Structure 1
Amino acid sequence: MSKVLVISGHPNLDESYTNTVILDELKAGLSDIEVRRLDTLYPNYQIDVEAEQTALMSADVVVLQFPFYWYSAPALLKKWVDDVFSFNFAYGPEGDKLKGKDFILSFTIGGPAESYDPLGYNHFTIEQFVYPFQQTAYLAGMNYRKPVYTHRMVYIPNVYNKLEEVQARAKDHASRLAAQIEEITASPESRMQTFVAEWFAKFDVLEEGTEFFTDKLAQDVKWSMPEGEFLGHDGFRDWYAIARATFKPNCDHDVQQIEVKPNGDRFQVELRIRLTADSYDDSMMKGEAVNLNVNETWQVSIDESGRVIIHEYSVVPVVS
């Protein structure tokens, strides 16, 4: 199963009647999960950015768990986002470190559902209130997933709700969240979205070594490119050398569409990509800038552990 990172943004989790239950249920039900309690890690609000970015990069699914405070997240979690989602990490010319990761908001709400309506006293929907988080995920290239939230989660003795009721809701909340995580991580579409994002993020840099790529290619991979056909790992290395001699680092493969179809015991992955790149003056492109659409078709297998192996890879430029 994919690694799940849960960022607990409650400023005083020990006093929570619901967020603690949700976290305990998740830890008991998911096999590969890390929970980072911001209230104990950073009681003085001084975020260790490097440590948090390292945790994010090792995760496949990122969950922000928090109580809904004044129509947003608590200040501690907001500061975490402000500090950690930094330039050239989450956005900017080199800010692709979170690209392709799944992003889920999970939060508890004190007020009733009917109040979050144009005719209710909160006037706006929950989805509208969390638009800033949705856009943050989009800018970072993450897959924004449907948020998981539960109303009437406040407990004040003899005033609001009963403890057993809110904790039962918390357990139901955790079950829904775990089910969504399992659905996301188990689907071939999700695995391929993550794989494709990681593949092109690495390829766009055009580093010298090929181990990252050959580790994900079948030994007899068939590589069909405009430059010709190449077979096996050695063939890929020959083609990659041509690509590195032609294009300058920091290309951009903008994946505009991805479709995954079962194909026997494998999957056919069809991608629509806009490629922008600069070429070297002494290359076959003679220093020309590249800006074109290409269709890519992959034949891949996915084993029980979720590892993706490419067996065939075809690229065809779109002629307008």
Structure 2
Amino acid sequence: MTTTRSTTRINTLNRLDRKTLIILSHPDIERSIANKTIIGHIKKALPESQLEVRHLESLYPDFKIDINAEQAALLNADLIVFQHPLYWYATPAILKKYVDDVMTWGFAYGTGGDKLKGKHFLQSITLGGSRESFTPLGYNRFSIEDILKPMQQSVYHIQMIYNPPLYSYRNAYVPEVLNSMSEVRENAIAHAERLIEKIQDFSKGNKEKVENFIHKWFKHFDVLDENGYFIQYLHQDIEFTFPGYGNMKGHTEFNSWYYSIREKLEAPIKHEVKNLVIEETERNRFDVRFQVHFLAEEKESRKEIDVVETENWELIWDENGDRPIIAKYVVSV
């Protein structure tokens, strides 16, 4: 027997809107082809309620950055995107100054400086050269990933979650010399579509991953897999309750309970998940409620078990490890 999914429609509730903040840096955005096209497409595709774009050169033509305003914008965001062309293998000048001025001690790092911890970061870059130019034998000698390592380390130092950079080639236009205007626009549109997809995927959160995990969990339960599979997804201080066993806590008591189940029941067994509700109560913390139609046979008595159980989980999605952690697990009949 195998785990089956109920035909009941999954009800995923979300009280949280994930906000994306795009820090745009381009010294002459009105004459830009690539970055102006990218930002224009993003603004058309995404609702204003989920997106804020801050063009640094427009906001601060005198380079006097309002630190309080920029820190407030960062605190209000879940995904932070740096959108810019590659200038001298780094960022435009004001974006470097932005990092220096805004990512301060006590805010982004150092004592008490964990305000951006757990937020996602993505660097979105337009490159003028070709793919071949960013190779050991090419004009630029280094890959773009190598060039961006200082930014990557800065993100790690701030304790944000680093996402692989998004970049596209041949975004510079020099008449009769380099690329064509139509080609640059095409490359920019393709870049924008990739960035929009990433933002939309991020906005969905991890509810779909939680759902898939629940069905995977019971698939392993059906074959009474080794307890090591289950332990890796349980908080070290997990609280759990099962009919006939009462309240238990921690890995040791889970192992004792699971050993008794494997001794008692004949594998395989069957779980059918029904009426699944996944509610995100705060970012990456989920209340999960559902029913399970449970079918099994006892080894000694050959007695059939056919019950419908109600399960309530408290689950945390660890984005650094991209994995779920069950903090509380309550089963009732």
Q: TM-score, normalised by structure 2?
A: 0.61
The answer as to whether partners of 1:5 and 1:34 remain within 8 angstroms in 2 is: yes
Distance 1:271 1:140 in 2: 28
Identical columns (%): 40
Distance 2:99 2:45 in 1: 27
Give the structure 2 partner of residue 270 of structure 1.
233
Report Cα offsets for 1:272-313 as digits up to 9, x if no partner: 68xxxxxxxxxxxxxxxxxxxx98x9xx93359988444655
Report Cα offsets for 1:231-264 as digits up to 9, x if no partner: xxxxxxxxxxxxxxxxxxxxxxxxxxxxx93259
The answer as to whether partners of 1:29 and 1:178 remain within 8 angstroms in 2 is: yes
Query: Among 126, 136, 159, which residue is 2:177 paired with?
Result: 159
The answer as to whether partners of 1:184 and 1:190 remain within 8 angstroms in 2 is: no
Judged with a 3 Å threshold, the aligned counterparts in structure 2 of structure 1 residues 306 and 156 are, in CA distance, closer, same or farther, namely same
Residue type of the alignment partner of 1:18 = A
Give the superposed CA RMSD.
Answer: 3.4
Distance 2:70 2:198 in 1: 24
Tell me, yes or no, if structure 1 residue 150 matches structure 2 residue 168: yes
Tell me, yes or no, if structure 1 residue 302 matches structure 2 residue 320: no
Corresponding residue SS for 1:7: strand
Q: Once the 2 structures are TM-superposed, how far is the Cα of residue 64 of structure 1 from its aligned partner?
A: 0.2
Give the structure 2 partner of residue 72 of structure 1.
90
Corresponding residue SS for 1:139: helix
Give the structure 2 partner of residue 136 of structure 1.
154
Distance 1:272 1:303 in 2: 18
The answer as to whether partners of 2:26 and 2:84 remain within 8 angstroms in 1 is: yes
Judged with a 3 Å threshold, the aligned counterparts in structure 2 of structure 1 residues 53 and 173 are, in CA distance, closer, same or farther, namely same
Give the structure 2 partner of residue 33 of structure 1.
51
The answer as to whether partners of 1:109 and 1:151 remain within 8 angstroms in 2 is: yes
The answer as to whether partners of 1:191 and 1:306 remain within 8 angstroms in 2 is: no
Distance 2:113 2:95 in 1: 21
Alignment of 1:169-208 (within 5 A): 169-188=187-206
Corresponding residue SS for 1:96: coil
Equivalenced residues, count: 227
Distance 1:11 1:30 in 2: 24
Distance 1:272 1:105 in 2: 33
The answer as to whether partners of 2:173 and 2:180 remain within 8 angstroms in 1 is: yes
Structure whose CA Rg is larger? 2
Q: Which runs of 5+ in 1 are unaligned?
A: 193-259, 274-293
Give the structure 2 partner of residue 124 of structure 1.
142
The answer as to whether partners of 2:206 and 2:284 remain within 8 angstroms in 1 is: no
Corresponding residue SS for 1:89: coil
Q: Once the 2 structures are TM-superposed, how far is the Cα of residue 4 of structure 1 from its aligned partner?
A: 0.6
Greater length-normalized contact order (CA 8 Å, ≥ 6 residues apart): 2
Give the structure 1 partner of residue 80 of structure 2.
62
Give the structure 2 partner of residue 16 of structure 1.
32
Q: TM-score, normalised by structure 1?
A: 0.63
Give the structure 2 partner of residue 4 of structure 1.
20
Corresponding residue SS for 2:132: helix
Judged with a 3 Å threshold, the aligned counterparts in structure 2 of structure 1 residues 24 and 271 are, in CA distance, closer, same or farther, namely farther
The answer as to whether partners of 2:235 and 2:327 remain within 8 angstroms in 1 is: no
